[in-house]
Amino acid sequence: MTQGKLVVLFLIVFGITSVSAKAATDVYPTNWWTGMKMNQIQLLIRSTDENLASKKVSISYPGITILKTHHFENARYVAVDISIASTSKPGVVTIALTGKWNTQKIKWRLDQKREGNGTVYAQGVTSSDFIDLLIADRFSNGDTSNDRVAGMRDQSLNRKELYHRHGGDFQGIINHIDYFKGLGVSALWLLPVLENDRPDRTEHGYAITNHYKIDPRLGGAAKYKELSDALHKNGMKLIMDAVYNHTGLEHFLEMDPPAKDWMHRWPSFTQTTYREQTLFDPYAAPSDKKRMSDGWFDNGMPDINQNNPFMANFMIQNMIWYIQEFGIDGIRIDTYTYSDLEFANRCNKAILDEYPNITMFGETRVFGTANQAYFNANNLNLPYKSNLQASVDFQCLYHGIIPALTEPINWTNGVNKLYNTASNDFLNKNPMQNVLLLDNHDEPRFFSVVGEDVEKQKMGYQWLLTYRGIPQLYYGSEVLLKGFTSPYDGLVRSDFPGGWNGDTKNAFTGKGLTQDERTVQDLVRKLGNFRKNSSAIKSGKMMHYVPVDGVYVYFRYDDDQTIMCVMNTDSKGHELDFSKYVERTGSFTEAVNIINNDKIKTSERTSIPAMQMWVLELKK
C-alpha cells in the first residue's frame, strides 16, 4: 500500500478533519451578534473548490438552531437558515461540513452587540447636522504604507492622473477631525469604502467586489472602526454610502454565482434607460419599466436581482451587519430609483426595525419635484408607498439655487424657480429631512457653475446653511475647487489641498490660499458654527415671500429665534423694507448680519446690493 493510501485510510478510520490545501471556505455574514431583533439569518457558505452539495451542515452551539439548508446549481455554495436564541452567549461557533470522506470545521463568531443603539450610534442625521461629503482616496493621505496593496488588481498610484488612485485614506481623515469641527461639520459621508478589487477606476468605490471587506487601501476594517470611534468621541456622526442596485463585475457573486439568477441577465449588454418616469407613468410600456429597473447601470456594474430571495437576504443582512459592525449613524443610498422598490422598502424596514433612530436618504436624480417625492415618504395617494425618509434634493439644486444665480429673472425663471420648487414641499412627509447640496462627486463644482463668481459662491453657501433641510458640503468647494463633469467626471474629484505632504497649498492651515479662497472658507466656518447653536435654522419653521424683482426673502423661526434671509439675485441693488414682512418682523427692532455683525434698524429702509445675500438675526 502506498504512503498516500495509508494517509487516506488513517483519516477515514480516525475521523480527522481534512480539507484540501487549496480550498478556502467563507461564510457570509462573517459574524453576527447576540440580542439582535434580526435573530434569524441566512448564512451563505462558499468554497472555492469544494463540492458542498453532498455535505451535511451541522452546528452544535447553545441557542443556535439550523432551520433549513438550501443547495444551488453551483455546488460550491450552500445556504443555511439559523435561529439565534435570546439566551445565546457570545463565542466562537463551529460549523461542521461533513462529507463521505472528511469533515470540515469552520469557525464563525457570535459577538456581543454594540451598546448605545440610537444614542451612541445609529443616531440618525437630521436638519441639526451639517454633512461633509468626502472621497477618501482624494482627501488626505495619512498612511503611505497602504497606497498600494499587493495582490489587488489596481496597482495605480499617480496623483497627476484623474482616474488613478491618489492614496487618501481613513488615517488622513482622522488626522483632520479638528478641521471638520472648525467648519461646524457634524457628520461625514464617505463614498463607499467596501472593497473594489477591479483593474481600474477604483477611487470612487461604487463597484463593490466584497460586501464584507473594507478596502485595505483605505486602511481596512480596523482603521474604519477607529475613524467611527474618533468621530463619535468628538460628537460627530458617520454616514455610509450604500449600494442596493448593483455590484462590481469582479464580485464573487458575479464571477462565481450560486445560480444564474442572482444578477439580472440579458441576451446582450442592456443598460438602464435612466427614465424613472416609467415606474409611475400610467402609460408606460412594461418593457420600458423592466429595462429601467433591471438594466445594468453600466457594463462594469452588474444589476442585482433583488427578487431572488437569497440575494435579497444577502443584501439586507449586509446592511444590518455594516451598521452594527462599524457604528453607522445614517445611510445615503446610491442609485435608489433603479432598485426594485418593493425590495428597497423591505430593506429599509429591516434597518428601521433594528435601528429606529437611524435615517436614510436616497440618490434620486430625477426630473421634477413630484418624481422625487414618489421615491420618498410622501403625501401622494398611489399604489406604491415608499418608506424612504428623504432624498438628496437635486430639485433644489437643478431647479432652485443654480437658476436663481445664473438665469435672467422673469415670471418663471431665475430665483422664481427656487421659490416654486420649495412651494412643492407639500408633496413630502418631511421635507426637512431632504439633503441640500451645491455640488457632489457627480455634479460640476458650484464655483464653476456660477462662472467663478465669488459673490455667487458665497450666496450659495449662505442659502445652503440656512434653508430647510440638511446641508451637505462637498470637500474642497469651501476653498473654491472648480471643475465641470464634462468631458471627464474626474475633474470634480480633485485632491483636497494640503492632504498630501509637500502640497504647496494647504486648506487646513491656510498656507497658499488666495484671499477669495480664505474669504469663502471663513464664511462657511462662521455660518457653519452659527447654525450649530441656532434653534431656528436647525429645527425651526420656514416662511418665504414671493420674490419681487429678483429679491427673495425667507425666514427660519421658532419661539426663541428668528433668522431673516434676503437674497438679491438682480443685477442692481434694491431697497429692503422690513415692513413688507410684518408677519415675521413686526415684533423686532434690529437685524444683525451674522457674517459681518452689521446692525440695521428694522424701522429704517436700507438697500441690499446686487448679487448679495444677507443672513440676519432679528432682535427685539
- Assigned domain for 425 exists: no
Q: Give yes or no: residues 181 and 241 share one domain.
A: yes
Residue 526 and residue 613 share a domain: no
Q: What is the mean pLDDT of residues 370-381?
A: 98
Q: Region of 146 please: left (phi>0), alpha (psi -120 to 50) or beta.
A: alpha
What pLDDT digit, counting tens, does each position of 256-309 carry? Answer: 999 999 999 999 999 999 999 999 999 999 999 999 999 999 999 999 999 999
For residue 506, the 8-state DSSP code is -
**Residue 525 belongs to some domain of the structure:** yes
Provide, rounded to the nearest whole percent, the portion of the chain with pLDDT above 70: 96
pTM of the entire predicted model: 0.95
Mean pLDDT value across residues 244-251: 97
Sheet containing 56-59, strands listed edge to edge, beginning at the edge strand earlier in sequence: 31-33, 103-111, 91-98, 56-59
Q: Is residue 164 part of a domain?
A: yes
Last residue in a domain, options 495, 521, 537: 537
Do residue 171 and residue 56 come from a single domain?
no
Q: Which residues contact 151 (CB under 8 A, 6 or more apart)?
A: none
The whole-number pLDDT of residue 23 equals: 60
Domain assignment present for 98: yes
Residues 280 and 329 reside in one and the same domain: yes
Range of the domain at 78: 3-111
Antiparallel, parallel or unpaired: β 194-195 and 210-214: antiparallel
Does residue 173 fall inside a structural domain?
yes
User: 88 and 103 share a domain?
Assistant: yes
Phi and psi dihedrals of 224, rounded to 5? Answer: -65, -40
CATH number, residue 64 = 2.60.40.10
Report pLDDT for 15.
37
Please give the grid coordinates belonging to residue 611: 448679487
Alpha-carbon distance 42 to 320, whole Å?
A: 13
Report the catalytic residues. 334, 363
C-beta separation of 136 from 217 below 8 A: no
Per-residue model confidence as pLDDT tens digits over 540-582: 999 999 999 999 999 999 999 999 999 999 999 999 999 999 9
| Residue labelled with grid coordinates 434580526 | 38
Exposed, middle or buried: residue 571 (CB in 10 Å: 0-12, 13-18, 19+)? exposed
Residues 519 and 563 in one domain: no
pLDDT of residue 101: 86
Three-state DSSP state, 106: strand
Cis peptide before 286 (omega within 30 of 0): no
CATH of the domain at 562: 2.60.40.1180
Give the torsion through C-alpha atoms of 280, 281, 282, 283, to 10 deg. Answer: -150
Mean pLDDT, rounded, for 196-212: 97
117 within a domain of the structure (yes/no): no
Domain end marker among 478, 511, 537: 537
Tell me the per-residue pLDDT of 227-244, one tens digit each, with 9 for 90 and over.
999 999 999 999 999 999
CATH number at residue 331: 3.20.20.80
The torsion angles phi and psi of 404, rounded to 5 degrees, stand at -60, -35
* CA nearest neighbour of 128 among 500, 534, 438, 420: 534
Residues 610 and 462 in one domain: no
Distance CA 356, CA 391 (A): 18
Residue 79 sits in the same domain as residue 166: no
Closest C-alpha among 513, 531, 511 to residue 454:
513
**Higher pLDDT pick, 451 / 19:** 451
Same-domain status, 260 and 166: yes
Q: In the numeric block, which cell numbers belong to residue 296?
A: 445594468
Distances (CA, A) of 70 to 44, 67, 78, 100: 9, 10, 6, 19
Note whether 375 and 261 are same-domain residues.
yes
Secondary structure letter of residue 438 according to DSSP: S
The pLDDT mean for the chain works out to 95
Number of domains in the chain: 3
* pLDDT value, residue 295: 97
Q: Computed from CA positions of residues 545, 547, 553, 556, in that sequence, does the dihedral angle turn out positive or negative?
A: positive
Q: How do beta strands 551-557 and 562-568 pair?
A: antiparallel
Read off the pLDDT of residues 503-547 as tens digits, 9 standing for 90 and up: 999 999 999 999 999 999 999 999 999 999 999 999 999 999 999
Task: Mark whether 523 and 564 lie in a shared domain.
Answer: no
Q: Is 406 inside a domain boundary?
A: no
Q: What are phi and psi of 567, to 5 degrees?
A: -115, 110
Q: What is the DSSP letter of 298?
A: B
**Both 545 and 512 in a single domain?**
no
Among 485, 519, 537, the domain-final residue is 537
| Residues 101-117: tens digit of each pLDDT | 889 999 999 999 999 99
